[in-house]
């Protein structure tokens, strides 16, 4: 009985601890404003890496078509006198040490914003060698991957008027890199779904839908098979949906979703889903609007944002042949300019890119045209020059 009483007391004291902890936290708040700022989650953003009116952005060239396309971005920015300086950090995909990627992560933490090409992950290397892209996303906690798939006028596709925003959880799910082989020949791969991350991504999705004036959010899942995992995700989405009565919420199983996307993609508005389904669905949507060369993607975290192409292709087979489509990377850089609040520059470049695509019909090989990458970029620069005085002299 004494033991029971002691353990009861222990339990009671454990229950009381959270309250005492909260009290200490508020006491700290009063004492040190710096600590207070770090604890307050919603309104604190790190100061932008802006000095003398110029922003500094980390640039990670990556592999394959990354370096050449990002060079075009720099060329274009220099031509348009965009007040952005790039801090280039190279990441060697074949090195097994993680120093390169850690340097990149540090640079992004310093600058807050990055533009990157995809870093290749060699399947043949041992499993201890993690995917560098994945490491970057998880270290910076870039929990939301947002991809806005829009049919672009001037690009011939089988489906018209596709306008879907895909929000994909970016840090957990099947990409947890937790695998082991307890018994030789039997591999267990862990898919982690947490309530906190699911609520967070659902909150992000609904906020974005509201901001953009969207009417419907669809959660994509496979809860009939993965009842606990995707069941938790679905339930978190439902809870968040209850706080947004102006937005319709429904859900669909991933296999049905992909089938509907292929037949009637116009029924979808905003979609939110865990990591792997997001990967598949975003690639299907990219295929629907014209291919991997057209769609930009963004990875948002609480404090950082990294911009890249939506489908994260390395494009090894077309590297350095001057045939890659620069549209996705250029539109990604426009999204970055919007994020840095340089809206005028963003609009100017975006308009030129879209005009090149739709009016001059200068298409690269992936869209069925004959143009080279440099021709397309050149045309964009000509468009910009025609638009106003805001350019440097030589094209």
Residues that bind another protein (CB under 8 A): 121, 123, 127, 131, 134, 158-159, 174-175, 177, 179-181, 184-196, 222-229, 231-232, 234, 254-256, 258-263, 276, 279-280, 282-284, 286-288, 291-292, 311, 313
Phi, psi of 40 (to 5 degrees): -70, 115
Q: Which residues contact 153 (CB under 8 A, 6 or more apart)?
A: 354, 357, 358
Nearer to another protein, 45 or 124 (CB): 124
Determine contact, residues 162/294, Cβ cutoff 8 Å.
Answer: no
Instruction: Provide, rounded to whole angstroms, the least separation between the CB of residue 286 and another protein.
Output: 6
Q: Are 271 and 109 in contact (CB under 8 A)?
A: no
Look up residue 32 and give its two tokens: 């040190």
How far, in Å, CA of 40 to CA of 212, rounded? Answer: 26
Supply the minimum distance, in Å, between the C-beta of residue 352 and another protein: 26
* Nearer of residues 208 and 295 to another protein, judged by Cβ: 295
- Our measurement of the distance from residue 341's CA atom to the centroid of its chain's CA atoms, rounded to an integer in Å, reads 18
By beta-carbon proximity to another protein, the closer residue of 4 and 242 is: 242
Q: How far is the CB of 66 from another protein (least distance, A)?
A: 16
Q: Tell me which H or E stretch contains 298.
A: strand 296-300
Q: State the nearest-atom distance from the C-beta of 267 to another protein, in Å.
A: 13
Q: Is 309 exposed, middle or buried (CB count within 10 Å of its CB: 0-12, 13-18, 19+)?
A: buried
**Burial of 359 (C-beta count, 10 Å sphere; 0-12/13-18/19+):** exposed
Q: How far is the CB of 251 from another protein (least distance, A)?
A: 9
Cβ distance to another protein smaller for residue 173 or 301 = 173
Comparing CB distances to another protein, the nearer of 61 and 265 is 265
Closest approach of another protein to the CB of residue 238, in Å: 11
Compare residues 72 and 200 and give the one whose CB is closer to another protein: 200
- Kind of pairing, strands 144-150 and 296-300? antiparallel
**Rounded CA separation 281/367 (Å):** 21
Cβ–Cβ < 8 Å for 259, 192 = no
Half-sphere exposure of 231 (CA within 13 A, CB side): 5
End-to-end CA distance of the chain: 88
User: Is 130 or 210 the residue whose CB approaches another protein more closely?
Assistant: 130
Under 8 Å between Cβ of 252 and 218: yes
Least Å distance, CB 127 to another protein, is: 4
CB of 330 to another protein, least distance (A): 20
Between CA 375 and CA 380, with CA 376 as vertex, the angle to 5 degrees is 115
Q: What minimum distance in Å lies between the beta carbon of 219 and another protein?
A: 12
Cβ proximity to another protein, 329 vs 379, nearer residue = 329
H helices within 212-249, ranges in order?
229-242
**Considering beta carbons, is residue 291 or 301 the nearer one to another protein?**
291
């Amino acid at each position: 009985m004494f033991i029971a009483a002691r353990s009861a007391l222990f339990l009671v004291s454990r229950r009381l601890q959270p309250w005492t902890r909260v009290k200490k936290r508020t006491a700290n708040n009063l004492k040190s404003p710096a600590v207070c700022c770090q604890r307050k989650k919603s309104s604190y953003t790190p100061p932008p890496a802006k000095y003398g009116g110029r922003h500094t952005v980390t640039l990670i060239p990556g592999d394959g078509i990354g370096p050449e396309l990002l060079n075009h971005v720099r060329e274009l920015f220099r031509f348009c006198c965009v007040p952005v300086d790039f801090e280039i950090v190279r990441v060697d995909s074949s090195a097994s040490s993680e120093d390169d990627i850690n340097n990149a992560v540090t640079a992004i933490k310093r600058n807050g914003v990055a533009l990157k090409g995809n870093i290749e992950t060699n399947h043949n290397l041992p499993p201890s060698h993690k995917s560098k892209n994945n490491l970057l996303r998880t270290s910076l906690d870039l929990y939301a991957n947002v991809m806005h798939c829009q049919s672009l006028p001037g690009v011939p596709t089988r489906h018209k008027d596709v306008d879907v925003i895909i929000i994909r959880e970016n840090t957990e799910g099947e990409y947890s890199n937790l695998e082991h082989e307890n018994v030789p020949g039997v591999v267990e791969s862990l898919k982690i779904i947490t309530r906190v991350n699911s609520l967070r991504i659902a909150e992000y999705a609904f906020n974005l839908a509201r901001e953009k004036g969207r009417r419907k959010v669809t959660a994509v899942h496979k809860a009939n098979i993965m009842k606990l995992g995707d069941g938790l995700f679905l339930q978190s989405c439902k809870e968040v949906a209850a706080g947004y009565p102006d937005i319709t919420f429904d859900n669909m199983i991933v296999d049905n979703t992909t089938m509907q996307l292929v037949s009637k993609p116009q029924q979808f508005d905003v979609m939110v889903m865990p990591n792997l389904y997001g990967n598949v669905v975003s690639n299907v949507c990219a295929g629907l609007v014209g291919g991997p060369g057209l769609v930009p993607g963004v990875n948002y975290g609480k404090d950082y944002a990294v911009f890249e192409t939506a489908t994260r292709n390395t494009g090894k087979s077309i590297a350095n042949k001057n045939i890659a489509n620069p549209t996705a990377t250029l539109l990604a850089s426009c999204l970055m300019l919007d994020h840095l609040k340089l809206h005028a520059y963003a609009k100017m470049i975006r308009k030129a890119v879209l005009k090149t695509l739709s009016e001059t019909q200068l298409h690269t090989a992936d869209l069925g045209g004959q143009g080279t990458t440099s021709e397309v970029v050149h045309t964009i620069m000509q468009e910009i020059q025609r638009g106003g005085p805001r350019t440097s002299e030589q094209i």
